[in-house]
Amino acid sequence: MHFWDLLALAAYFVLLIVIGALSTRRVKSSDDFAVAGNRITWPILFATLAASFLGGGASMGRAGKSFTEGYVFMFAAAAFPLATVLAGWFIAPKLKRYVGAHTVGDIMAHHFGAPARLFTGLFSLVYCIGILGAQALAIGTVFNAILGIDVSTGIVVGMAVVLLYSTLGGMWAVIQTDVLQFLMLAVFVPLTLVIGVSQVGGAEALIARLPEAHFSVMGDYSVGLFISIFIAYLLGETLVPPYTQRALAAPDSRNAKIGYTLAGGFGFLFYFISASIGLVALVLFPDISPDRAMPELIRSALPIGITGLVLAALLAVVMSTADSYLNSSAVVFVRDIYQSFIDPEVNDRHRLWIERWVNLAIGVGAIIFALYATSIIDALLLSYALWAPTVLIPFVLAVLLDLNCCRAALWSMLAGAGMTILWKWGPFEFEQLTGLSGLIAGVLTNIVVFTTTYKLFRLPHISVQASTSVKEG
């Protein structure tokens, strides 16, 4: 890499650490660490949410998929931005009713009691650490592709920076760095595409040099496979802890709704840009590994000076996702497990201290996890399989319909998790036999068990409200 490229990259890292250090002054309580004092207006919510969900999968993963399969995967995965728009319209505004809530577990406890909080906390932790590990691996992949240093060193260096600013500044540091990272990815990733397309010889040349199937909606997918991926992306990442935490950080329903809905809309744009970069890389570098499509285009096709900035933008894409999941993991552990079941009398200052140490510990754990994962998308999908079949259905039903039934929530979560595990990793190879993914089987089981149990055992509304500290505003 050229000296100026390295300088741009170093300047970006220094800026992130400075933001983290300056944010320390703003973090005086656990409220500040978890939800930035509930003061995030919609432009900030939009930027931090978009930066969080546009990670390694939406950038390098999407480019890699279009490199091998064309636009078809982008169309199937567009279910996620669609789900974000729908969540922004119907769910996010309702979340502001739960005054004092920091986590999904807080809301589950409000509707279903303390045991539901424990299960939600555990599933949230597994999910967040899984995605965090995948993003840590993605950071290593970017370092390796651009600087040539080995993946393990890249993971350690990149995650050390994330750990430093997120531990110091909590949610305040995360949202400020997220805004910076959003600006970089929204400017430099499209710039990479425009320069790449011009190097190919224009869009017409791109179409002429690639198979026709790469530009069709269904590509080489069967209808069943397309629907299966569509549903996985529609439900797999929807309202996961860091995204829900952002809606809870908004000052009111209006800001939550606008920020969430616009972020979903921006997701469509970014998916198209990432997927198109994969096609450009296929024409320019047909022999590379698909995961390297985007970094290789940045490294080889861009002029000196720009490369460092775009590399920083690519790192921004994955680091902004990693910091969000890291912050959420720490907040979920302290709020849903430590404060609820280990030390309910913990004071705010001690809780903030624990959140910082847990943030650090989980970050180190994720680095170890990342060193054993082999593919960004595969690692992401392993974690995707658990969220929707467990927490998502009872959570959405509770928020939309104001349902209260502890048994329905617990049994549906356990049944959904059990069915998913049996379906995906059991001895009978149900996925091959039926064509249904483990996630869909788990979600269907969850819905059936929830509705049946709810009809049998529904509790009076007042008994559940008494068991939680979160109040509806």
Task: List interacting residues with another protein (CB under 8 A).
Answer: 26, 39, 41, 43-44, 46-47, 176, 179, 182-183, 186-187, 189-191, 193-194, 197, 202-204, 206-207, 266, 269-270, 272-273, 276
Helices (H), 24-113: 30-35, 42-53, 62-69, 72-77, 79-90, 92-95, 104-112
The Cα 249–Cα 259 span in angstroms is 11
Q: Are 393 and 416 in contact (CB under 8 A)?
A: yes
Choice between 319 and 388, CB closer to another protein: 319
Q: Is 112 exposed, middle or buried (0-12, 13-18, 19+ CB in 10 A)?
A: buried
Choice between 116 and 200, CB closer to another protein: 200
Q: How far is the CB of 472 from another protein (least distance, A)?
A: 28
Residue with tokens 């040349």: 205
Choice between 64 and 196, CB closer to another protein: 196
Q: Is 371 exposed, middle or buried (0-12, 13-18, 19+ CB in 10 A)?
A: middle
Q: Hey, what are 231's tokens? A: 């549903």
Beta-sheet pairing, 98-99 with 471-472: antiparallel
Residue with tokens 């995030």: 40
Q: How far is the CB of 31 from another protein (least distance, A)?
A: 15
Phi/psi for 14 (5° steps) reads -60, -40
Q: How far is the CB of 95 from another protein (least distance, A)?
A: 21
Choice between 92 and 122, CB closer to another protein: 92
Choice between 15 and 191, CB closer to another protein: 191
Q: How far is the CB of 454 from another protein (least distance, A)?
A: 42
Q: How far is the CB of 261 from another protein (least distance, A)?
A: 14
Phi/psi for 325 (5° steps) reads -70, -35
Phi/psi for 60 (5° steps) reads -65, -35
The Cα 162–Cα 167 span in angstroms is 8
387: nearest Cα among 254, 232, 230, 275: 232
Choice between 127 and 182, CB closer to another protein: 182
Reading phi first (left if > 0) and then psi (alpha if -120 to 50, else beta), residue 429 is in left
Q: Is 345 exposed, middle or buried (0-12, 13-18, 19+ CB in 10 A)?
A: exposed
Q: How far is the CB of 228 from another protein (least distance, A)?
A: 27
Choice between 183 and 371, CB closer to another protein: 183
Choice between 187 and 364, CB closer to another protein: 187
Exposure string over 425-443, b if 16+ CB within 10 A, otherwise e: eeeeebbeeeebbbbbbbb
Q: How far is the CB of 186 from another protein (least distance, A)?
A: 4
58: nearest Cα among 244, 223, 199, 269: 269
Choice between 313 and 419, CB closer to another protein: 313
406: nearest Cα among 473, 465, 339, 470: 465
Choice between 235 and 306, CB closer to another protein: 306
Q: How far is the CB of 266 from another protein (least distance, A)?
A: 6
Q: How far is the CB of 308 from another protein (least distance, A)?
A: 18
